Amino acid sequence: MATTTKLTGENELERTLHDEFYGGLGLTDSQLQRASAPDRLKLYRENPDREWTPKQYQFYLLGDLTGMTVCDYACGDGADAVLLAANGARFIRAFDISNSAVEIVRRRARLCGIEAQLEVRQDNAEQLSYEANSFDAIYGSSVLHHLDIEKAAREVHRVLKPGGRAVFREPYEQSRLLAGIIKLIFRVSSLKPDAVSPQRQLNEADVVLLASIFSRVNVKAFGLFNRVDRILKNTTVVENIGHLDALLLKNVPFLRTYARHIVIECIK
């Protein structure tokens, strides 16, 4: 049975919207089992495109998780918990604000054979129920920008073990010009934002805030021209654009202002 954490205000709105979203997905057993497809597990063990693919870079940073206790932070439908298990995590403690998501994760864990390695609960990212120093590593995908970042970051710091790392992948919006262009594109085209609920993008001030809380923060930017991946479906073209992005962002640092995503590694 799903548990319910007391929430108020914006947190309650997030839960309501995400319960509606995940409750309406109607995922079949076959769809849930795809998370453990051998080629997917292999991809996120080897991460061959990590220089221009943010998610692969996250798993590259996490590395071999053998013997570790890992938090799947705001786990959504649990597909990435399967990857954490495949990369060696001894135990995965996952949570999400949505009870509908929690139920999906439990189904997926059973179908993908990781039920014994996984505990999942409904929880509030800004006031976690885990004890201090619980985790060797924390993995999060597009979640901080839904939250009060300072509250969430202090909770992440609290539950990490000394020397532990949290790795987040987040949308980034530092350029006002670029933000305006993107909003115009969404207004006049069929493209829509990825958001389930109201939010903002991270910016450089958020990175500075995180650096004030953790002993070390490392940031890698992704995505200049590869925003066209929503339009272009040619894999070779998208891959070549990704290589160009990686080259430019590595050699022309100020271009980070125009990046689409950042991966943030926070070390306690």
Q: Name the residue ranges covered by the structural domains of the chain.
A: 9-173+198-222+260-267
For residue 15, the model assigns a pLDDT of: 86
238: tokens are 């998208």
Q: DSSP letter string over 53-73?
A: -HHHHHHHHH---BT-EEEEE
Q: Which CATH superfamily, name and number, covers 9-173+198-222+260-267?
A: Vaccinia Virus protein VP39 (3.40.50.150)
For residues 3-27, one letter each, b for 16 or more C-beta atoms within 10 angstroms of the residue's C-beta and e for the rest, the string is: eebebeeebeebbebbbebbeeeee
For residue 4, the model assigns a pLDDT of: 47
For residue 3, the model assigns a pLDDT of: 44
**Residues 132-180: pLDDT tens digits?**
999 999 999 999 988 999 999 999 999 999 999 999 999 888 655 565 6
260: tokens are 């689409």
- pLDDT over 90, % of the chain: 62
How many alpha carbons fall within 13 Å on the CB side of residue 223?
A: 19
Average pLDDT over residues 205-214: 96
Distances (CA, A) of 217 to 50, 152, 225, 267: 19, 15, 26, 6
Q: Look up tokens 């849930």; give the residue.
A: 32
**Residues 9-59: pLDDT tens digits?**
567 878 888 898 898 989 999 999 999 999 999 999 999 999 989 999 999
How many alpha carbons fall within 13 Å on the CB side of residue 142?
A: 13
Q: Considering the entire predicted model, what is its pTM?
A: 0.87
Give the chain's mean pLDDT: 87
For residue 7, the model assigns a pLDDT of: 55
Q: Classify residue 205 as exposed, middle or buried by CB count within 10 Å of its CB (0-12, 13-18, 19+).
A: exposed
User: What is d(CA 81, CA 165) in angstroms, rounded to the nearest whole number?
Assistant: 17
Task: Pick left, alpha or beta for residue 113 (phi over 0 → left; psi -120 to 50 → alpha; otherwise beta).
Answer: left
